[in-house]
Amino acid sequence: MSSDTVDGDTRPAPADPGRPDTAELSRPARRQAEIAAYVVEHGSVSANDLVEAFGVSVMTVHRDLDELERQGVVRKYRGGVTAQPTSVFESNVAYRLNTAQAEKSALARHARAMIEPGMSVMLDDSTSALALVDLLEDITPLTVATNFLPAISKLTGLRDVTLLALGGIYSATHDSFGGMPCAEAVEALHTDFLFCSVSAVSPTHAFHQEEEIVLVKRAMLRSARTKVLLVDHGKLQRTALHRLAPLTDFDVVVVDEKTPADLVQALRDNGATVEVAPL
């Protein structure tokens, strides 16, 4: 029972330089993310393999796998699991691993500066938007519309914030509401601001992995006066399946300070209004 991998975990976490930052994620969540990566890499693994690889009990492995299956990242069969088409992995695990905490909060601070009391803002289901929620508390009164459950939960606690929940079909993968019902709810609104993020950004366009998400984001773009795209530099080299919109559809594209200067220039050359958020 590989006693070297058990508890007494006082080490400051594996860290694994080169990989995304996994700190400040709950232990099981981190392990699940790592398991997911492991499964995607190996295509198909047995539960016992995972027991050995991660030094936890079978029971725990199964619990993790159940959770990952619930999120649609893997499929279970008797004896093990297989990876699902990568898109889900991308948008889920990437989201969980790739915290980029510092960048996100820099973007959020920059965004916050645009908002003034009395305004209405719309937020999408992104961690960047979530970071912004924490900063809204004292820009009151304020109206906030979002389809992101964690954001909704946080906002219910705030006084002087009119919360407009955008309902729809719940997606465990994103922990948000989507689909047609959500798009319709969005159509019925018009807010001063939209703050959103996407999974990938090319010099000319914003991209996203999933079609249903694109549906909602497009609706959001139509329903806000000033549209702000929050981009941490990790997004800039990546690519994704569906083209969401040209960057010129956004009034502002905010990038973090770590973004290479040439990439910023490339965005500007293509007509985007880019602002750099200091860390």
Binding site for a copy of itself (CB under 8 A): 70, 147, 149, 152-153, 155-156, 159, 162-170, 172, 175, 177, 181-182, 184-185, 188-189
Widest pairwise Cα distance in the chain:
60
Question: How far apart are alpha carbons 159 and 163 in whole angstroms?
Answer: 10
Q: What phi and psi, each to the nearest 5 degrees, are found at residue 19?
A: -85, 165
Contact partner, 47, from DNA, a copy of itself, none, Cβ < 5-8 Å per class: DNA
Give the residue among 163, 93, 180 at the shortest CA–CA distance from 123.
163
Q: What is the DSSP letter of 265?
A: H
Contact partner, 31, from DNA, a copy of itself, none, Cβ < 5-8 Å per class: DNA
Task: Give yes or no for residue 149 binding DNA (CB under 7 A).
Answer: no
Residue 100 makes CB contacts below 8 A (sequence gap 6+) with: 20, 21, 232, 234
Q: What phi and psi, each to the nearest 5 degrees, are found at residue 278?
A: -70, 145
Q: In sequence order, what are the beta bridge partners of 256?
A: 277
Task: Give yes or no for residue 31 binding DNA (CB under 7 A).
Answer: yes
Rule CB under 7 A: choose which of 28, 167, 179, 181 binds DNA: 28
Instruction: For the CB of residue 81, give the shortest distance to DNA in the complex, in Å.
Output: 8
Q: Judged by CB under 7 A, which stretch of 45-53, 97-105, 220-228, 268-276 contacts DNA?
A: 45-53
Q: Which is nearer to a copy of itself, 15 or 188 (CB)?
A: 188
Residue numbers of the site for DNA (CB under 7 A)?
1, 6, 26-29, 31, 46-48, 55-60, 62-63, 66, 76-80
